[in-house]
Amino acid sequence: MSRIKAKRIGFRIDMTPMVDVAFLLLTFFMLTTKFRPPEVVKIDLPSSHSELKLPESDVLTVTVGGDNTFFMGVSSQQSRVKIFNAVVKPKLQAAGLSSVAVADSLKKFKLAENFRVGRDELDKFVVMARFADQKLRPVIRADADAGFDAVNHVIKVYKKANLLTFNLITVLEREAR
């Protein structure tokens, strides 16, 4: 019995499922992508062979720029509010700002990833961040060119705040030795 073969010329495939999956993936990637926020200072990280990953939450980052300036950032917004109320607010009030202006700067402070800190203010901020969140994971993100005294200052501040385990952010170095 010879079977009659169906003609294969100009055939059509239903592409609907493929397009469905493509759109699903597209939506997923579009919604999960978080664009990297613009950096306040350009940090040129040192490299190391460590493959340990940065913890996801409760991170306290002290950034040291190449010109030895300090920036601080806390990942949780509740902690930011607490830090603002304890340290920044009294300072603004002493400067004679109205309550509206203070509330306005709180809003700004809550959304800021990083803020600039003076060298001698750093300990006050770190201690306050420690009070606001006990599970804090301290991290130092310093430029490779930063002076050791600036980084040592941060380490001493952490030590004073009893944060004895901390991480240094580096980029992975692939060269084998």
- Inter-residue contact 64 to 146 (CB < 8 Å): yes
| Structural tokens at position 75 | 């990942």
- Footprint of other proteins on 139-158 (CB under 8 A): 139, 142-152, 155, 158
- Rule CB under 8 A: say whether 175 interacts with other proteins: yes
Quickly count: other Cβ atoms within 10 Å of residue 75's Cβ.
Answer: 18
**Closest separation between CB of residue 91 and other proteins, Å?**
29
**Closest separation between CB of residue 76 and other proteins, Å?**
17
Point out which span in 49-57, 81-89, 93-101, 119-127 binds other proteins (CB under 8 A): 49-57
Nearest to 75 by CA among 61, 89, 88: 61
Say how far apart CA 114 and CA 39 lie, in whole Å: 9
SS3 (DSSP) at 7: coil
Interface residue with other proteins among 37, 56, 57, 111 (CB under 8 A) is 56
> Which DSSP letter does residue 88 get?
I
- Rule CB under 8 A: say whether 67 interacts with other proteins: no
User: Nearest 5°: phi and psi at 60?
Assistant: -110, 115
User: DSSP states of 90-103 as a string?
Assistant: HHHHHTT--HHHHH
Point out which span in 27-35, 70-78, 89-97, 116-124 binds other proteins (CB under 8 A): 27-35
Instruction: Give 116's strand partners.
Output: 71
Q: Which residue, 117 or 150, is less far from other proteins as judged by CB?
A: 150
Say how far apart CA 116 and CA 41 lie, in whole Å: 10
Interface residue with other proteins among 33, 42, 94, 135 (CB under 8 A) is 33
- Rule CB under 8 A: say whether 53 interacts with other proteins: yes
Interface residue with other proteins among 2, 57, 134, 162 (CB under 8 A) is 162
- Binding stretches for other proteins (CB under 8 A): 15, 19, 22-23, 25-26, 29-30, 32-33, 46-54, 56, 64, 139, 142-152, 155, 158-159, 162, 164-173, 175, 177
